[in-house]
Amino acid sequence: MKTLDRTAEGPWEKYHGPNLGYIQEQYEKFLEDAESVDPAYRELFANWGPPPSFAKGEKKADSQATAAGFNREMLKKSVNAGKLVWNIRTYGHLAADIDPIGISAEADTRLLQPETYGLSQQDLTALPAEVVWEEAPEDVKNGWEAIQRLHQIYTGTIAYEFSHVHEEEERNWLNSHAESVVHQIVLSKEERHHLLKRLFEAEQFEDFLHRNFVGAKRFSVEGNDALVPMLDEIVREMAHEHVDSVLIGMAHRGRLNVLAHVLKKEYSKIFSEFMHAPTNKHLVPSEGTMGINYGWTGDVKYHLGADRFVKEGEAHEMRVTLANNPSHLEYVNPVVEGFTRAAQEDRTQPGYPKQDENKAVTIILHGDSAFPGEGVVAETLNFNKLPGFRNGGTIHVIVNNRIGFTTEGRDSRSTYYASDLAKGYEIPIIHVNADDPEACISAARLASEYRNRFKKDILIDLVGYRKYGHNETDDPETTQPLIYQKVKNHASVSNLYVDTLIQQQMITAEEVDQLKAKVQSSLKEAYDIVKNSESSDHVLLNIKPSGDKKKPKAKTGVALEQLREINRELLNWPEGFTVYPKLKRILERRSTALNEGEKVDWGHAETLAFASIIADGNPIRITGQDAERATFAHRNLVLHDSVNGSTFCPLHRLPQAKASFAIHNSPLSEESVLGFEYGYNVYSPETLVIWEAQYGDFTNCAQVIIDQFITSGSSKWRQKSSLVMLLPHGYEGQGPEHSSARLERFLQLSGEDNWMVANLTTAAQYFHLLRRQASLLNTEDAKPLVLMAPKSLIRNPRATSAITDFSEGSFQEVIPQPGLGQTPKKVERLILCSGKVAIDLEEALDKQEGEDFSWLHIVRVEQLYPFPKEEIAAMLKPLTSLKEVLWVQEEPQNMGGWSYMEPRIREVAGKEVEVRYNGRPERSSPASGYQDVHAYEQQSITSFALNRKTINHQISLGR
């Protein structure tokens, strides 16, 4: 039992009059037999003791007859009335009018009926309104009227699900607003005319496209036309709050309409995309032209994004952005969340960025099948409260057309509503009938106010229908004949609203005709302009061919004294901060690592690179599973006090720092986190954004983001990114899953100079590569970096580097093996390799010290894409006796770099020199699960490579 504070009444203060009398009676029963009372009362009495004998200013309630004249039966009825009210608030949505075409099965609504609780109209009429509903309006006189009013509120064209919200303050606020604010919203005549105009614009736009571009796909919004004015309202609400940016993500359904009316993309541009894009001569390669080799292949019109600026008064301008999105529906969600976090943060000062959640707001439009069906939705909802990913709340809208392609809800989800997933994250849900546009405006206002007040997600389920098939060429009646009979006979929302306004004498039929004619005229005018003009090439202006022109090397070395100053500061921990003793000893070794004759390891090189980059004024953000420490415990950039658990990041109080450094452990998700980081980088191109996979094969779970956004975003949308992906890779006997980062996939996706793929062998190379990437930030040369990050090499002495390699060197696309190739004319075999296998070869060479290897040279290919053609050619040129170029890798032949490298090596080597493969044979699984098999295979690869007798012989392993 709790220690009671007798100076406070605790839960009893809300009981008075007949309710207090009833509670006193229950307590008397509890004393006689605890099992005879309701479990809720047992818990109450056990925790808080007896109720007070007298309420404030009241006489003691008599169990037989109270001062107000209530008897015991009436007390019970008042309690039952309270239960009824609770259930109306909780389950009123089951009886709500939120099904425009009447295709939902009838729900069991007995919990909403007074009879279920033994209550009659007479019983409820006898109860004061405030007993039943504490906040009842003055015009509600008794309990019966209270119940009728609550029924009206909770079962109308707006319905609510708030009971799963655990925070009492939020839940009370939501219910209060539903009952006293939303219910009483009345639009002015001017607002209603504007709303009707918007509905006409949305409907007539779709109708115009349907008639003038017969058979063209556009993924119409019809059936959910109210989405357009709803978005207008949310944007307007955010402008009133002086939000700087509204970031919108959506799939293709209704995108053209949103582009035209919310983003203000000109009708003529959209019509041009329908009329001219398929025959634009510059998009189709022809003899003597660069054609699509410009590095710009474009995307279909219903995947494109746009920007718009909204003026609020004279002083404030707000940016509204609709993100580009491929066909993978919900995968844009984390990208847009990343946009918003980037827009909210100030990265100009050392430490973590300063976040202002009022600066930017996310709106995400979901599909009713995709919301419960695609896992990226749940992963993104999980960001809501995470320190590294939260952004002050997203407004979600399910554009619910009740069907996915041809699949109905019974086959696409196991829940009652498409929105039910949100309940697990305590996200309030508002269901609204898309045929009631005024209700839609009210829902938008409530959602906006909640987000701005509580800085949390909220969801609107906009329940409508789909006028046509999945696209306009698809016939839905083959699979949904009954539904589409109803759709065909159902009036559009604009016609329904016209009837309502005329009935309310808010508009005349003549005014309606004038309004509709004006909308149609603007569409026809834009169409005629495009129809009478020549094919437009505006989309390709100023696009330059990527070509193979060599760019000058960036100067990435850092002065030795500057590095030493940075190094000293990195070890300057706060007074009284107790670093874990074992880790302290490891970190303190770095104090002498920059002395002459010493070496810098991988983790130390990374920290120095980060420190020097923020010292140059470039902010950094790095996330990933266990990124603060790193999977292999080499980073340790967030130190934990071993006494009190407090944390400290050395880069946050670095005196040289001129920009922020953000480092966050991510949730156990890949596709959503990588999408978030991509979005953050696109919106903040001046930031070095890094995502680290726990193991390289974890990218399997993020393939859509890689394929649809990172590798192709520049080509499809001219969307620049400089995102860095660190993917631990290397064959060390850890089995099929933790050996390979699937290098072959990234090389297969390489083209049009779209990114850089590297596999490094030294700490200094990593240092220079990070600094080179930072030097390209926010420039035309910015591109993503895919790095096969090391595992065992992190602590391998052979991968360490001397300090002069940091101060004087730069990134090298290829590195010749020291000690080999001294007499070029004697070299008969040139080994090309990449990554850890190069270190394995070096170790094997050292074990054969004293042997004559003048016949052999080894070159490490540190950068695989873009292919270092000139550098490899320069290595080949002096080797006049060369018989063979041997590509050595530890991956199976159908994986790794071989398929990509072979034709390129043959082109450089010429026909006179054989090009051969040495590595594991083709396999379906990346690696063996047995350590002894791994060791045997690895030893066989190095032995073959270093055996002169195998020149121009087939390899034995797997042949």
Q: Is the peptide bond before 866 cis (omega within 30 degrees of 0)?
A: yes
CATH architecture, domain defined by 814-950 = 3-Layer(aba) Sandwich (3.40)
Contact 570, 607 (CB under 8 A): yes
Distance separating alpha carbons of residues 557 and 608, to the nearest angstrom:
11
The whole-number pLDDT of residue 16 equals 66
Q: Which long-range contacts (CB under 8 A, 24 or more apart) does 279-282 make?
A: 279/535, 280/535, 280/536, 280/537, 280/539, 281/535, 282/537, 282/540
pLDDT tens per residue across span 696-707: 899 999 999 999
Q: Which runs of consecutive H residues, i.e. helices, occur in 262-412?
A: 267-275, 332-344, 370-373, 375-381, 409-412
Tell me whether strands 458-463 and 394-400 are parallel, antiparallel or unpaired: parallel
Work out the mean pLDDT of the chain and round it to a whole number. Answer: 89
Contact 358, 392 (CB under 8 A): yes
CA distances from 225 to 186, 337, 747 (A): 21, 25, 44
Contact 521, 528 (CB under 8 A): no
The whole-number pLDDT of residue 539 equals 44
Cβ within 8 Å of residue 524, ≥6 positions away: 208
Distance separating alpha carbons of residues 545 and 50, to the nearest angstrom:
83
Q: Which runs of consecutive H residues, i.e. helices, occur in 575-686?
A: 581-588, 602-615, 671-683
Contact 131, 81 (CB under 8 A): yes
3-state secondary structure of 857: strand
Domain definitions of the chain by residue range: 17-48, 73-158, 189-274+295-528, 560-808, 814-950
Distance separating alpha carbons of residues 904 and 898, to the nearest angstrom:
10
pTM value is 0.89
pLDDT(72) > 90 = no
Q: Does domain 560-808 have CATH number 3.40.50.10140?
A: no
CA 184: distance to chain centroid?
Answer: 36
Distance separating alpha carbons of residues 884 and 863, to the nearest angstrom:
22
Give the right CATH number for 189-274+295-528 from 3.40.50.300, 3.10.105.10, 3.10.620.30, 3.40.50.970. Answer: 3.40.50.970
Would the CATH topology of 189-274+295-528 be identical to that of 814-950?
yes
Tell me whether strands 639-640 and 647-648 are parallel, antiparallel or unpaired: antiparallel
| Beta strand residue intervals within 696-791, DSSP E | 724-728, 756-759, 785-789
pLDDT tens per residue across span 394-413: 999 999 999 888 888 888 99
pLDDT(526) > 70 = yes
Size of the chain in residues = 959
**Angle made by CA atoms 480, 485, 491, in degrees to the nearest 5:** 125
**Looking at residues 334-353, what average pLDDT do you find?**
97
Contact 605, 801 (CB under 8 A): yes
Contact 30, 41 (CB under 8 A): yes
The whole-number pLDDT of residue 276 equals 63
pLDDT(288) > 70 = no
Distance separating alpha carbons of residues 842 and 512, to the nearest angstrom:
83
CA 339: distance to chain centroid?
Answer: 9
The whole-number pLDDT of residue 646 equals 95
**Looking at residues 908-918, what average pLDDT do you find?**
94
At residue 418, what are phi and psi to the nearest 5 degrees? -65, -25
**Looking at residues 269-282, what average pLDDT do you find?**
65
Q: Judge residue 582's burial from the number of C-beta atoms within 10 Å of its C-beta, 0-12 exposed, 13-18 middle, 19 or more buried.
A: exposed
Contact 836, 794 (CB under 8 A): no
**Looking at residues 532-555, what average pLDDT do you find?**
57
Distance separating alpha carbons of residues 896 and 635, to the nearest angstrom:
27
CA distances from 173 to 85, 176, 393, 426, 454 (A): 16, 5, 17, 15, 10
pLDDT(956) > 80 = no
The whole-number pLDDT of residue 289 equals 35
What one-character DSSP code corresponds to residue 782?
-
